[in-house]
Amino acid sequence: MVLELDKDNLQEIIADKKNVVVQYSAGWCGNCRIMKPKFKKEAATHEDITFVIADAEKFPESRKLATVDNLPTFAAFANGEFKNQVQTNKYDVLKELINEVASN
């Protein structure tokens, strides 16, 4: 399942779900658009993880939950706590981050 934030409530989702992986992106970001279908593909194969897409410009409180200084940034949370993040446009690097959360 992939949730696309329509309000700045990522903290609530992280607190409510066991495992969460977030793609921080922006509408103008070409690499974000390239990674989005790959992110959604991973969501389809990991039903135990909640996948969230957060616009880093529209949702500043959500952005504060990770160090987002380049896009796309992918952040992993488990049991309400930040675990790890990567700033990448490489599918293999994203898969490694997801596997870290999946093994929780």
Average pLDDT over residues 30-58: 96
Name 75's bridge partners: 22, 85
Cα–Cα distances in Å, from 21 out to 41, 72?
13, 13
Is CATH 3.40.30.10 the classification given to domain 2-89? yes
This prediction has a pTM of: 0.95
In the block, tokens 């103008």 appear at: 28
Residue 60 phi/psi, 5-degree rounding, is: -65, -35
In the block, tokens 């949730």 appear at: 3
Residue 82 has pLDDT above 80, yes or no: yes
Average pLDDT over residues 40-54: 96
For the chain, give every domain's residue range: 2-89
Longest dimension (CA), the chain: 34
> Could you tell me the pLDDT band of residue 64, with boundaries at 50, 70 and 90?
very high
